[in-house]
Amino acid sequence: MASVTIDMGSGKRATLTSAGNSTGMRPSVGQRSAVSELMLHWPKYSGLTTGAAGYLRKLGIGAFHSDPVAALRSAIEDGRVSVSIDQPVARGGSAGGSPSTPPFPRANRLASVPGVAALPVDKPLPSWATPSDVTADELISYLESVVAGAGSSLAGNDIGGASSLLGEAAPFELAADVPNDGSFILAGTPNTGPAGSWYTNPGSGQMRLFGNNGLPVVDFDFDHDHGQGIPHAHNWDDVGGGFPVRGPGVSFSPLP
């Protein structure tokens, strides 16, 4: 039987074959699927518009039509011409459809890639900075060194002999209006302490810094999460009352 081939692109080809005496028979599922696939981009296939009249002639349908492209489509849809789609075959493939050998030897795939110089982040961290090794004492030592460095910088730039923030801190004394019955003791961490001192809760590991007036200034929490992650910090804000108000949690990292 006569047949013609249409290039569908992407390696696919549609073979059109004259159905002969099979006209009127119910097409198979595969045939209906092939026709549907062919009609997806009809008539935008290469050479179809100019070659339709020749296709009709080869298939024995006749070339004398005012619209050869429409006539060819009608012949396909009513079953006078059958369609088969040739799927693209991967080059260099085996019977299973996958390459018989990898395109590049595995051992040599990265052979030509130049090495990357070590970045600062690749340098080993000090022992105290390793998450599993951090202790409250080490963290306090680090924070104290940062505060000391900041104090030295302020002292070096001092004008008029002004002292540092904590240089003239007075000894802590309970104010007359501060209750001493433990009502301000939250989760085992005292809310008052010696000016400029740190307190570490032996149970939770919470750290609290007391300011010049002996009231809390900042907390560092390590055992719970308010949605800001672990660890996180809380600032104590002076809102004009007799006692500061603990602010919301703010995430932080002990690493420099």
pLDDT 10s digits, 138-194: 778 878 877 776 655 555 555 555 555 556 666 656 555 555 544 444 457 888 999
**DSSP helix/strand/coil, 204:** coil
Cα separation of the two ends of the chain:
82
* Nearest by Cα to 81 from 60, 104, 102, 100: 60
Amino acid at 44: K
Which domain-ending residue is among 86, 106, 122? 86
Q: Are residues 135 and 82 in the same domain?
A: no
Which domain-ending residue is among 30, 61, 86? 86
Q: Is residue 102 part of a domain?
A: no
User: Tokens in use for 199?
Assistant: 């307190």
CA 167 – CA 87 distance, rounded (Å): 85
Q: Are residues 7 and 59 in the same domain?
A: yes
Q: Is residue 221 part of a domain?
A: yes
Phi then psi dihedrals of residue 109, to 5 deg:
-65, -35
Q: Is residue 96 part of a domain?
A: no
Q: Is residue 160 part of a domain?
A: no
Cβ-defined contacts of 178-186 (< 8 Å, 24+) = 178/242, 178/243, 184/243
Question: What is the total count of domains within the chain?
Answer: 2
Q: Is residue 256 part of a domain?
A: no
Task: Mark 225-247 as b/e (b = at least 16 C-beta within 10 Å).
Answer: eeeeeebbbbebeeeeeebbeee
Q: Is residue 205 part of a domain?
A: yes
Residues composing the chain = 256
Q: Are residues 72 and 176 in the same domain?
A: no
Q: Is residue 139 part of a domain?
A: yes
pLDDT for 221:
87
Q: Sorting pLDDT into bands at 50, 70 and 90, what band is 28? A: confident
Q: Sorting pLDDT into bands at 50, 70 and 90, what band is 23? A: low
Q: Are residues 81 and 188 in the same domain?
A: no
Which domain-ending residue is among 28, 54, 86? 86
Q: Are residues 134 and 212 in the same domain?
A: yes
Q: Are residues 66 and 143 in the same domain?
A: no
Q: Which residues pair with 5 in a beta bridge?
A: 15
Q: Are residues 138 and 246 in the same domain?
A: yes
Q: Are residues 238 and 170 in the same domain?
A: yes
Q: Are residues 134 and 191 in the same domain?
A: yes
pLDDT 10s digits, 87-122: 776 555 444 454 555 555 555 555 555 665 555 555
Q: Are residues 145 and 239 in the same domain?
A: yes
CA 40 – CA 48 distance, rounded (Å): 14
pLDDT 10s digits, 183-240: 444 457 888 999 989 998 888 888 899 998 899 999 888 887 777 788 888 888 887 7
Cβ-defined contacts of 134-138 (< 8 Å, 24+) = 134/254, 136/200, 136/205, 136/207
Q: How far is CA 212 from CA 57, 208, 215, in A?
A: 103, 13, 8
CB-based contacts of 42, cutoff 8 Å, min separation 6: 48, 73
Q: Domain range for residue 202? A: 130-152+166-251
Q: Is residue 158 part of a domain?
A: no
Q: Are residues 141 and 246 in the same domain?
A: yes
Q: How far is CA 103 from CA 96, 111, 211, in A?
A: 16, 15, 68
Choice between 194 and 50, residue whose per-residue pLDDT is larger: 194
Q: Are residues 72 and 170 in the same domain?
A: no
